[in-house]
Structure 1
Amino acid sequence: MTEVIILCAGYATRLYPLTKNRPKPLLPIAGRPLLDYTLDRLKGVPGLGEMYLITNHRFVTHFQAWASGHKEAQIQVMDDGTSTNEDRLGAIGDIDFLLKRRDVRSDCLVVGGDNLFDFELKGFVEFALKNKPALSIGAYDCKSLEAARQFGLVKLDARHRVVEFQEKPANPQSTLAAMCLYFFPHSTLSRIAEYMGSGENRDAPGHYIQWNAKKHPVYAYVFDEPWFDIGHIEAYQKAEEEFRAKAKSR
């Protein structure tokens, strides 16, 4: 069994006023909450177990209401206790929060709640299982050095092992964007606590991947289909436009 962690505790201040009173993962995309698309794809992955959604105190009732409409998924919504962007735990801090409160005994598939994609995850999980006990991440070729500046980037060797990581560089050396999509084998989960004690950045999960890649093998599965990181209003508008057009063509 693989347990699922969906990260939804951010405050998305760059999308104000859209996210002033609504969490980013629940913004509408072609008439559906963004998170619905993620859940659709998770349902297509065999062997998934417990599903945890970590959010903040400010938006916990929003996610509880959403989860109540998806009872078949049995999503456990967890409140990390924060109420403002200033006291947020950060992505890695939230995973640490979960691991201290749940007896997780399986591998973990970690998904960012603001990732929007319409492709299957089965291939990624199969790739990750094959590369255990190493960590695996999802990557997307944005095909433009200009566009690459806004993402954490990876360079890979012939076996798709991560050999270099850059966090939003001014001069990109790669166009492969690291998605907020990770497979953490159970044997690696103890590294979260080690990282938390290291003084490294707890917010952007790419820093945790970079820290790992310096010490341990990390592999990347490259997706070809479109992926959107809803980090600003323009990205949201583009995603809404493309998914609405796709819905009309079906």
Structure 2
Amino acid sequence: MICILLVAGHGTVLEAQIKNDETGLYSHLTGVPKALLPGVGGRKILDFWWETVNMRQLFTEVYLVTNADKYKYYERWATANDFPVENIVNDGSTTLEDRLGAVADLELVIRSRKLQDDIMVIAGDMLCADQNFDIAQVIRFFRSEPGELIIYYELEKSEKSSSRGIVEVCPDTHRVTRFLEKPQDGLTASRLASVVFYCLQRDTLSHLSDFLRLQPQASFGRFWEWLVNEKQLDVFGMKLPTGFQLIGQVGLSDYTKWLTHYSTKQQDNPAKPITYRSFARVGLMGNPSDGFNGKTIAMSISNFWAEVTLVESQTLVLVPHPLNDPTEFGSLQDLFCISRKEGYLGGLRLLQATCKKFYQFCSKQGIALTKQNFTLKYDTNIPRQVGLAGSSAIVSATLKCLMKFYNITDNDLPKPIRANFILNVETDELFITAGLQDRVVQVYEGLVYMDFSKNLMAEQGYGNYVSMDMSGLPHFWLAYLSDPSDSGRIHSNIRQRWLSGEPLVVEAMKSFAELTDQARLALQDKDWRRLAQLMDQNFELRRSVYTDDCLGPGNLKMVQLARQFGSAVKLPGSGGAVVGLCLDEEKLVEMRQAFQEAGCVFCVIAPYNPSASTVGGQH
């Protein structure tokens, strides 16, 4: 692949204002071409781009196209920066009026140097907000798609779409469906701005001369309008999660404004830790039908959470948790006891799998990540092996940190897709048996109704998720085994029986969905007695399908104990814990004591309401 840096523009406005500036602050920049002006961090703008593309493993050659007026400046720059002077192409223009235009400059270097390879084109006088993006990732994405590539970013609030080339991109195929050069207000809702940063296949280069015969001196924006809208060639878009600003025909005030803006953004977050929490959840109704095209209602609870912290660092480091990922032991007996009780699978694998899947997702979705490293550590107080979604909470919190660090927005990774992502980390990477319910409620947070009907899942790839009103909820309670040794068999062979169409299992999953719809109405009507009845029915239905042998004696004893006090009770997850609703406050106190005396941990649930709390966000 060959890279071509375009620096042949004539910056008459900026150059004139620098020359006439009365403050004297910019007198040393008089006559200096735009690409050699100071950029972010004080380096010349072109220095950054040369450092970015000066990699033999990526580019066989790098060319620089300039004009006759500024040629000597670039020749001097080349000798000082080990750029091959023979690769500087002079387009012969000296004024704005006799300019060739960007497309003609590109065609000139291709024709004069007889280039026959894929081409990357970059404007060398372009300010970049974040100077760490991975250009190798851009090339990999270009080679993975059967067409040309346009780089774009999401406009900042202060930027007007009428000043830029705007692309409309299909979120599924990443194909650019329409290109609009500086559109008038109302022509498009897109805020995705193209910059002079493109990849062209060698077979497409002949279109340059065809276009120039139609529109000499035209800009790249007009070229892409013609190529996308008229010729309807396959052109794909890749998003860079950073801002760009062409100096172009701007004045001194705009240049200094953008330079200050981008520099300030870097200074504001030099290495500030990013911390997010994701909460445990209880399945109130319908579980475990989420894995069987059913319906469920789940609620996030603030009693227990996983917390992940990310801070920028020189190398990428995943920090083992001292309790969950032990590497030091008091003795061989200590190692034996911990391994027997906790197993060998801590949270470190969850961090690693999430990072791997995140990079894979962004590469596939056409999102080029910056080349920044980080240190990632986690903490959690969610009890293990009691079905409260502890693993997915760590994955969810890690994903929040990565999205914040790399400036990935909700548009890049919408909530329904985010839940699928978290599930895929666990099922595809770590082979954990799981359903979507936990991931959905940890993404949406609060009280969530979920419909996983077959048609919905087939049509859109995810279910219908509705956040519900949490005002005036009754006091739910939670109890779990202090030593949940028999909770791991809860999933049993139900999936095989369901896939084979066994009537008992198929009808049970339909019944779970019906109970969920009834529970939704009970919650909306604040009919707590009806909700309690439905919770009991949910457990009995589950018991009839999974059998007592599968549920295990520990779970059954907790259910029996709760019922002695007239409380509704069911399993909130895969086993090892029970969730209940006791409407008699006095019996609730007595029941707490009974559970504690039975060796269980008991707590009154504190629902996590995202609309009424800041605990779950960044802090």
Give TM-score, length-normalised by structure 2.
0.38
Contact persistence 1:44–1:120 (CA under 8 A): no
2:253 and 2:34 map into 1 onto residues whose CA distance is: 14
Match for residue 70 of structure 1? 81
Match for residue 142 of structure 2? 128
Q: Which has the higher helix share?
A: 2
Equivalence map 1:108-187=2 (5 Å): 108-117=119-128, 118=131, 119-132=133-146, 134-144=147-157, 147-158=160-171, 159-171=173-185, 173=188, 174-187=190-203
1:49 and 1:66 map into 2 onto residues whose CA distance is: 21
SS in 2 for 1:123: helix
1:44 and 1:235 map into 2 onto residues whose CA distance is: 32
Match for residue 293 of structure 2? none
Match for residue 38 of structure 2? 28
Look up the equivalent residue of 1:209 and give its one-letter code. W
Match for residue 67 of structure 2? 56
CA-CA distance at 1:14 after TM superposition: 3.1
- The answer as to 2:295 corresponding to 1:241 is no
1:148 and 1:201 map into 2 onto residues whose CA distance is: 25
CA-CA distance at 1:12 after TM superposition: 1.4
CA-CA distance at 1:201 after TM superposition: 5.3
Contact persistence 2:103–2:208 (CA under 8 A): yes
CA-CA distance at 1:69 after TM superposition: 1.4
2:193 and 2:206 map into 1 onto residues whose CA distance is: 26
Contact persistence 1:45–1:121 (CA under 8 A): no
CA-CA distance at 1:98 after TM superposition: 1.2
SS in 2 for 1:58: coil
Change (3 A) 1:112 1:244: same
Look up the equivalent residue of 1:223 and give its one-letter code. L
1:62 and 1:143 map into 2 onto residues whose CA distance is: 33
2:176 and 2:234 map into 1 onto residues whose CA distance is: 7
2:253 and 2:240 map into 1 onto residues whose CA distance is: 22
Contact persistence 1:44–1:122 (CA under 8 A): no
RMSD: 2.2
2:12 and 2:256 map into 1 onto residues whose CA distance is: 16
- The answer as to 2:2 corresponding to 1:3 is yes
Unaligned runs of 5+ in 1: none
1:45 and 1:152 map into 2 onto residues whose CA distance is: 31
SS in 2 for 1:208: helix
Contact persistence 1:37–1:116 (CA under 8 A): no
Change (3 A) 1:220 1:234: farther
Moved over 3 A (4+): 43-46, 143-146, 242-250
Change (3 A) 1:144 1:242: closer
Look up the equivalent residue of 2:181 and give its one-letter code. E
Equivalence map 1:172-211=2 (5 Å): 173=188, 174-198=190-214, 200=215, 202-211=217-226
Look up the equivalent residue of 1:161 and give its one-letter code. R
Look up the equivalent residue of 1:189 and give its one-letter code. L
2:152 and 2:43 map into 1 onto residues whose CA distance is: 25
Q: Highest CA radius of gyration, 1 or 2?
A: 2
2:177 and 2:115 map into 1 onto residues whose CA distance is: 29
Contact persistence 1:228–1:235 (CA under 8 A): no
CA-CA distance at 1:145 after TM superposition: 8.2
CA-CA distance at 1:101 after TM superposition: 0.8
1:11 and 1:70 map into 2 onto residues whose CA distance is: 23
Relative contact order, CA 8 A, sep 6+: which one is greater?
1
Q: Which has the higher strand share?
A: 1
Change (3 A) 1:89 1:234: same
1:14 and 1:31 map into 2 onto residues whose CA distance is: 22
CA-CA distance at 1:243 after TM superposition: 5.1
The CA deviation string for residues 62-88 of structure 1, in whole angstroms up to 9 with x for no partner, is 0111111121x4361111111111000
Moved more, 229-238 or 74-83: 229-238
Change (3 A) 1:55 1:155: same
The CA deviation string for residues 84-117 of structure 1, in whole angstroms up to 9 with x for no partner, is 1100000011111112211212111000112122
Contact persistence 1:8–1:114 (CA under 8 A): yes
Change (3 A) 1:223 1:201: farther
CA-CA distance at 1:130 after TM superposition: 1.0
2:203 and 2:223 map into 1 onto residues whose CA distance is: 16
Give TM-score, length-normalised by structure 1.
0.90
1:139 and 1:14 map into 2 onto residues whose CA distance is: 26
Contact persistence 1:139–1:177 (CA under 8 A): yes
Match for residue 18 of structure 1? 18
CA-CA distance at 1:40 after TM superposition: 2.1
- The answer as to 2:120 corresponding to 1:95 is no
CA-CA distance at 1:164 after TM superposition: 1.2
CA-CA distance at 1:120 after TM superposition: 2.4
1:45 and 1:244 map into 2 onto residues whose CA distance is: 30
SS in 2 for 1:51: strand
Contact persistence 1:145–1:175 (CA under 8 A): no
1:167 and 1:201 map into 2 onto residues whose CA distance is: 16
